[in-house]
Amino acid sequence: MDITKVSALQLSKAIRSKELTVTEVVLAQLNEIRKREPLYHCYISISEEQAIKRADEVQKKIEQGEYANSLLAGVPIAIKDNICTKGIKTTCASRMLSEFCPSYDAEVITRLEAAGCIILGKTNLDEFAMGGTTETSYFGVTKNPNNINYVPGGSSGGSAAAVAGGEAIIALGSDTGGSIRQPSSFCGVVGLKPTYGMVSRYGLIAYASSLDQIGPIGRTVEDCAAILQIIAGEDKKDSTCAINTVSPSLKAIRQSIQGKRVGFPAEYFEEGLSKEVRIEILKVVQVLKECGANIEEIKLNTSIYGVPAYYILACAEASSNLSRYDGVKYGFRASKYEDLSELYKETRSIGFGTEVKRRLLIGSFVLSSGYYDAYYNKALKVKNILREEFRRAFEKVDLILTPVTATTAPKIGESLSEPLKMYLGDSYTVPVNLAGLPAISVPCGKDKNNLPIGFQLIGKPFGEQEILQTAYQYECTVQKGEK
Amino acid sequence: MKSYETVIGLEVHVELATKTKIFCSCTTQFGGEPNTHCCPICIGMPGTLPVLNKKAVEFAVAVGLATDCTITKRCKFDRKNYFYPDLPKAYQISQLYLPICRNGKIEIETDSKNKKIGIHEIHLEEDAGKLIHDSSSEITLIDYNRCGVPLIEIVSEPDMRSAEEVIAYLEKLKLILQYLGVSDCKMQEGSLRADINLSIREIGSDILGTRTEMKNMNSFKAIVRAIEAEKRRQIEWIELGKGVIQETRRWDDNKNTSFAMRSKEDTKDYRYFPEPDLPPLEFSREWLEQIKERQPELRDQKMQRYQTEYGLPEYDAAILTGSKPLAELFEKTTILCKKPKEVSNWLMVETLRMMKERELEPDQLSLQPEKLADLIQMVEQGTINRTISKEVFEHIFLEDIDPKEYVKKNRLEIIRDDTLLKKAVEKVVEENPQSIKDYQNGKEKIVGYLVGQTMKAMKGKADPTIVNKMVKEVLGDTIIESI
């Protein structure tokens, strides 16, 4: 079994049927990481010792008959480094938290460990998840395994690249404006952003609390569905986490999509979309039709206001969420200061990178007295209109097909000097976060530079099943075609 | 000189007596070693989330109902952003846009008249930590124990005109809060803190003058002093034609003066925005009804009941219900000994005297109802006399002794041994030969003197009535003998 290509479900099955031991798998994965890491730099920290120890524990439990029905037992997983892991550094790729080691686990970590998964390490990201290239990381850029001159996307670039580059079988990312879907698309893997409230945010270091959502990245749609089953569901520690949610079973997502209505918003295929991406996604339309889906054109006019509204709301919340990093209690503290105000200024000036500071300034500005109504409140209105627009669209269709990004991954170093261009690159993904909807990014081809292209399926609130089901049918059909 | 009137509004912060903090399960207990009542949530560690304490909400609603407020059926939390080391998240979760209670009133009584003081709003928020400045080492330390203790801020309308009215309002408010059991209202421990908004205007004017906000008064007396001083200061400025500057001032009770803290121009921009980590609160009619039904007996009702049920005079009822601990002590003791008027006397005379002598507040009272009831019963049963009972009471009050044991140990029971008594009387008469002549000469007063001497000889443990009878007998006998 080639650990760099296998799916998590296959691997766990082999482990649970005693073909492989967890220790063998973990050691093999660590070996691949050692070989590939110098090339891709997916990880900020690798918790080798803990992983080997955990592997032994899980193996013993499996031998005692535990985890018989746990679909991902024994599978190692990579975690984005903005998700708290007890006893493992959690840095948010920032100098500010470069030495921060939480005394608590995020709820998703607790659940993954209870399901028999093994934490491999913490993956690289844009500083505090702010960025779309992983270049704003304090720990250096991650490279796209498909072509190392290109970025893996971001902010969950380390997680997507790890799965794509054989450094992890599955991974967790977080998605505030596209941070799971966009790097998944750029790296050629599957990434799911669940409905807001589907997965507990407890222990996810907040960027924009009303938009952040943790989700899975994997090589297959089924792997993502299996992870979702483990991490989703009510958590009393997160008051925004929905109650009585049901995550779809594998059986459910394997159902036919005959008669499903797939919305096709023309606005998402107009100006700005690269020719290569358009061509590949139009091929997806054909495949879905072959699978029995009905394609219906819909209107989503407000989506063009998504980017400005997103940056106002996300930066506003970020400016508040990141205020706690003040050098007083934990994390980085400037070495020279005369008084309290200087302690704050120096710590935050040195501790944060340029992109984070840019967003904190935008956020503080839009919340300032006299500007609140003009910016924050207006952005909230856009959010509500967008939500309503999607709601109406979902009266006619079951899910919506769009691109994930306008182009394939940019070259390393290309985007940093043009923040506005980078922000506009999020136009296909941010409306989903603003509306709190689930969406999945699925690979559907490559461009001339061997860079992957992905498509996005957007579902109704808590409509994970429909998008997973459709993505699964697409995946199966394409794989059959390849054989 | 023109005649002025003082216009005062109050902002009262009250710590709610919930067992746990408002957003985590840490204890709210006062004191404790610094930073031992803390957890990752209340010290704002990255990734943690608040979960609202329902009891705090119930308490706030109870106060709203008791002060005739309208309860906001759908209320929300907002973030108040500012940097200060005692605020670990660098924002306080509070309520700006939709506070939990609005438009209420409290009726106060002063010597001159009864008056309604409007309640503008009551909002729910979290307390901050405490900075401890160590002057010897010039170091500032932070204690986060208080951080996250639930607070309500009760904002009055500017309806008060004198220090007398302010104190009447605070006394009334304190009684309401104590009777509801929502706070212990200990000013010295900071569980009740009042900020005074004060302005001056010419009598007859209906335009409000420029106001100042006074902070840091830790007793009612300090509040009176601060009001008087600020009133004089503002009038002086107005008379000098300089006008009052809108500012926040800090009262220094030792120096009996206040200092400007910050002017309006320096007012912080708190960049309020809706708290994204907490969903809005929605109160059903049924839930509000339940809270209403659970409202305990308030002071006015209790005062009425003491007169009808226990037959106490209005004066007694008013004093006993004037503080909840006193009323509770009364009720508990009365249940045990079934002598309401006796209990009332003990509380109103001896207890209040001892409290006054030792400058104790009712909430510092440690008198046990069982012990007071035992004492009353011992007097009723003639085990001890009234003089002795007062002595025993002092020991109960000060040393929490058990009255029965104490009386036994110190042999304070009334001596009923007639031979012993007679011997004592005879000895006294013998020592005062002149008394016999006096008695013969009709000086009845001498009997009282001899009774007193006998009581003294008996260390107070005799029944004075019996002694009196006996003194007369002995005197009579002696006279007969001498004839």
Q: In what order do the strands lie in the sheet with B101-109?
A: B70-71, B101-109, B114-126, B150-156, B4-15, B192-202, B212-217, B247-252, B257-263
**Number of Cβ atoms within 10 Å of the Cβ of A267:** 15
Yes or no, beta carbons of A202 and B47 under 8 Å apart:
yes
**For A355, phi and psi rounded to 5 degrees?**
-65, -40
Of A201, A237, A340, nearest to B51 by CB-CB distance is A237
**For B15, phi and psi rounded to 5 degrees?**
-80, 130
Choosing from A12, A156, A159, A179, the catalytic residue is A179
User: Which pLDDT score, from 0 to 100, does residue A247 have?
Assistant: 95
Percent of chain A clearing pLDDT 70 (strictly above): 100
Residue B275 has pLDDT above 90, yes or no: yes
Is residue A260 classed as helix, strand or coil in its secondary structure?
Answer: coil
Residues B200 and B271 in one domain: yes
Q: What's the pLDDT tens digit per position in A341-385?
A: 999 999 999 999 999 999 999 999 999 999 999 999 999 999 999
Among residues B363, B391, B409, the one where a domain terminates is B409
Residue tagged 């009822």 (tokens)? B317
What mean pLDDT do residues B87-102 have? Answer: 97
What mean pLDDT do residues B316-323 have? Answer: 91
Convert chain B into a string of H (helix), E (strand) and C (coil).
Answer: CCCEEEEEEEEEEEECCCCECCCCCCECCCCCCCCCCCCCCCCCCCCCCCCCCHHHHHHHHHHHHHCCCEECCEECCEEEECCCCCCCCCEEEECCCCCCEEEEEEEEECCCCEEEEEEEEEEEEECCCEEEEECCCCEEEEECCCCCCEEEEEEECCCECCHHHHHHHHHHHHHHHHHHCCCCCCHHHCCEEEEEEEEEEECCCCCCCCCEEEEEECCHHHHHHHHHHHHHHHHHHHHCCCCCCCEEEEEECCCCEEEEEEEHHHCCCCCCEECCCCCCEECCHHHHHHHHHHCCCCHHHHHHHHHHHCCCCHHHHHHHHCCHHHHHHHHHHHHHHCCHHHHHHHHHHHHHHHHHHCCCCHHHCCCCHHHHHHHHHHHHCCCCCHHHHHHHHHHHHHHCCCHHHHHHHCCCCCCCCHHHHHHHHHHHHHHCHHHHHHHHCCCCHHHHHHHHHHHHHCCCCCCHHHHHHHHHHHHHHHHHHHC
Q: Which residue of A has its CA nearest to B80?
A: A320
Residues B123 and B71 in one domain: yes
Yes or no, beta carbons of A205 and B47 under 8 Å apart:
yes
Which are the contacts of A142, defined by CB distance < 8 A and separation ≥ 6? Answer: A40, A41, A42, A123, A124, A134, A151, A152, A157, A158, A161
What mean pLDDT do residues B420-432 have? Answer: 84
Residue A172 is assigned to a structural domain of this protein: yes
User: How many structural domains comprise chain A?
Assistant: 1
Please tell me if residue B43 touches chain A, with a CB cutoff of 8 Å.
yes
Residue A382 is assigned to a structural domain of this protein: no
Residues B302 and B386 in one domain: yes
What mean pLDDT do residues B321-344 have? Answer: 92
- Length of chain B in residues, anyone? 483
User: Which pLDDT score, from 0 to 100, does residue B481 have?
Assistant: 66
Cα-based distances in Å from A414 to A148, A403, A409, A424: 14, 21, 10, 15
Question: B312 with B340: CB under 8 angstroms?
Answer: yes
Of B43, B142, B277, nearest to A239 by CB-CB distance is B277
**For B267, phi and psi rounded to 5 degrees?**
-55, 130
Please tell me if residue B47 touches chain A, with a CB cutoff of 8 Å.
yes
Q: What's the pLDDT tens digit per position in B212-255?
A: 999 989 899 999 999 999 999 999 999 998 889 999 999 999 99
**Number of Cβ atoms within 10 Å of the Cβ of B301:** 12
User: Which pLDDT score, from 0 to 100, does residue A333 have?
Assistant: 97
User: Which pLDDT score, from 0 to 100, does residue A311 have?
Assistant: 97
Please tell me if residue B123 touches chain A, with a CB cutoff of 8 Å.
no
Residue A354 is assigned to a structural domain of this protein: no
Side chain identity, residue A313: L
**Which residues of chain B are within 8 Å of residue A320 when distances are taken between CB atoms?**
79, 81, 90-91, 271, 273
User: Do strands B101-109 and B70-71 pair parallel, antiparallel, or not at all (unpaired)?
Assistant: antiparallel
Closest Cα in chain A, distance from residue B54 (Å)? 12
User: How many structural domains comprise chain B?
Assistant: 3
Interface contacts (A, B; CB < 8 Å): 98
Is residue A423 classed as helix, strand or coil in its secondary structure?
Answer: helix
**For B117, phi and psi rounded to 5 degrees?**
-110, 125
Tell me which residue range forms the domain holding B435: 418-482
Residue tagged 């993904």 (tokens)? A429
Selected for mutation to probe chain B from A88, A238, A324, A368 (highest B CB count within 10 Å) is A324
Residues B194 and B113 in one domain: yes
The pLDDT confidence band at residue B121, using thresholds 50, 70 and 90, is: very high
Tell me which residue range forms the domain holding A187: 8-248
Residues B227 and B366 in one domain: no
Please tell me if residue B77 touches chain A, with a CB cutoff of 8 Å.
no
Residues B164 and B277 in one domain: yes
Residue A67 is assigned to a structural domain of this protein: yes
Yes or no, beta carbons of B45 and A330 under 8 Å apart:
yes
Instruction: List helix spans (H) across A47-190.
Output: 48-63, 107-114, 157-164, 181-187
- DSSP codes of every residue in A157-226: HHHHHHHHTTS-SEEEEEESSSTTHHHHHHHT-EEEEPPTTSB--TTBPPSSTTT-EEEEEESSHHHHHH
Please tell me if residue B79 touches chain A, with a CB cutoff of 8 Å.
yes
Residues B320 and B245 in one domain: no
Yes or no, beta carbons of A320 and B91 under 8 Å apart:
yes
Please tell me if residue B251 touches chain A, with a CB cutoff of 8 Å.
no
Task: Give chain A's residues under pLDDT 50.
Answer: none
**Which residues of chain A are within 8 Å of residue B269 when distances are taken between CB atoms?**
368-369
Residue B1 has pLDDT above 70, yes or no: no
User: Which pLDDT score, from 0 to 100, does residue B311 have?
Assistant: 93
Please tell me if residue B280 touches chain A, with a CB cutoff of 8 Å.
no
Residue A61 appears among annotated catalytic residues? no
Question: B130 with B87: CB under 8 angstroms?
Answer: no
Is residue A83 classed as helix, strand or coil in its secondary structure?
Answer: strand
Chain centroid to Cα B16, Å, comes to 15
**Which residues of chain A are within 8 Å of residue B20 when distances are taken between CB atoms?**
none
Closest Cα in chain A, distance from residue B346 (Å)? 51
Residue A154 is assigned to a structural domain of this protein: yes
Please tell me if residue B46 touches chain A, with a CB cutoff of 8 Å.
yes
Which are the contacts of A56, defined by CB distance < 8 A and separation ≥ 6? Answer: A22, A23
Residue tagged 């509070």 (tokens)? B94
Which are the contacts of B126, defined by CB distance < 8 A and separation ≥ 6? Answer: B21, B22, B23, B92, B93, B94, B147, B148, B149, B150, B151
User: Which pLDDT score, from 0 to 100, does residue A420 have?
Assistant: 81
Residue A80 appears among annotated catalytic residues? yes
User: Which pLDDT score, from 0 to 100, does residue B265 have?
Assistant: 65
Residue A47 is assigned to a structural domain of this protein: yes
Residue B292 is assigned to a structural domain of this protein: no
Convert A342-410 into a string of H (helix), E (strand) and C (coil).
Answer: HHHHHHHHHHCCHHHHHHHHHHHHHHCCCCCHHHHHHHHHHHHHHHHHHHHHHHHCCEEEEECCCCCCC
Is residue A121 classed as helix, strand or coil in its secondary structure?
Answer: strand
**Which residues of chain A are within 8 Å of residue B45 when distances are taken between CB atoms?**
102-104, 330
**Which residues of chain B are within 8 Å of residue A102 when distances are taken between CB atoms?**
40, 45-47
Please tell me if residue B148 touches chain A, with a CB cutoff of 8 Å.
no
Residue B291 is assigned to a structural domain of this protein: no
Yes or no, beta carbons of A102 and B269 under 8 Å apart:
no
**For A228, phi and psi rounded to 5 degrees?**
-55, -45
Residue A12 is assigned to a structural domain of this protein: yes
Yes or no, beta carbons of A368 and B50 under 8 Å apart:
no
What is the pTM (predicted TM-score) of this model? 0.88
Yes or no, beta carbons of B51 and A100 under 8 Å apart:
no
Q: What's the pLDDT tens digit per position in B293-314?
A: 999 999 988 999 999 999 999 9
User: Which pLDDT score, from 0 to 100, does residue B461 have?
Assistant: 81
Residue B355 has pLDDT above 70, yes or no: yes
Of B44, B273, B279, nearest to A240 by CB-CB distance is B279
Residues B231 and B269 in one domain: yes
Q: Which helix (H) or strand (E) holds A264?
A: strand A261-265
Of A84, A202, A239, nearest to B52 by CB-CB distance is A239
Cα-based distances in Å from A121 to A48, A112, A437: 8, 14, 29
Question: B414 with B386: CB under 8 angstroms?
Answer: no
Is residue A294 classed as helix, strand or coil in its secondary structure?
Answer: strand
Residue B253 is assigned to a structural domain of this protein: yes
Residue B119 is assigned to a structural domain of this protein: yes
Yes or no, beta carbons of B276 and A210 under 8 Å apart:
yes
Residue B475 has pLDDT above 70, yes or no: yes
User: Which pLDDT score, from 0 to 100, does residue A483 have?
Assistant: 62
Of A203, A319, A324, nearest to B44 by CB-CB distance is A324
Question: A379 with A244: CB under 8 angstroms?
Answer: no
Percent of chain B clearing pLDDT 70 (strictly above): 98
Whole-angstrom distance, CA of residue A80 vs CA of residue A216: 10
Choosing from A12, A94, A155, A415, the catalytic residue is A155
ipTM for this model = 0.96
Residues B13 and B158 in one domain: yes
CATH classification of the domain holding A16: 3.90.1300.10
Residue B479 has pLDDT above 80, yes or no: no
Residues B179 and B117 in one domain: yes
Choosing from A12, A45, A47, A80, the catalytic residue is A80
Residue A155 appears among annotated catalytic residues? yes
Of A151-155, A346-350, B29-33, B472-476, minimum mean pLDDT range: B472-476
Residue B480 has pLDDT above 90, yes or no: no
Residue B448 is assigned to a structural domain of this protein: yes
Whole-angstrom distance, CA of residue B123 vs CA of residue A99: 38
Please tell me if residue B80 touches chain A, with a CB cutoff of 8 Å.
no
Peptide bond into B205 cis (omega under 30): no
Among residues B259, B286, B313, the one where a domain terminates is B286
Please tell me if residue B138 touches chain A, with a CB cutoff of 8 Å.
no
**Which residues of chain A are within 8 Å of residue B279 when distances are taken between CB atoms?**
239-240
**Which residues of chain A are within 8 Å of residue B90 when distances are taken between CB atoms?**
320, 323-324, 326
Q: Which residue of B has its CA nearest to A236?
A: B51
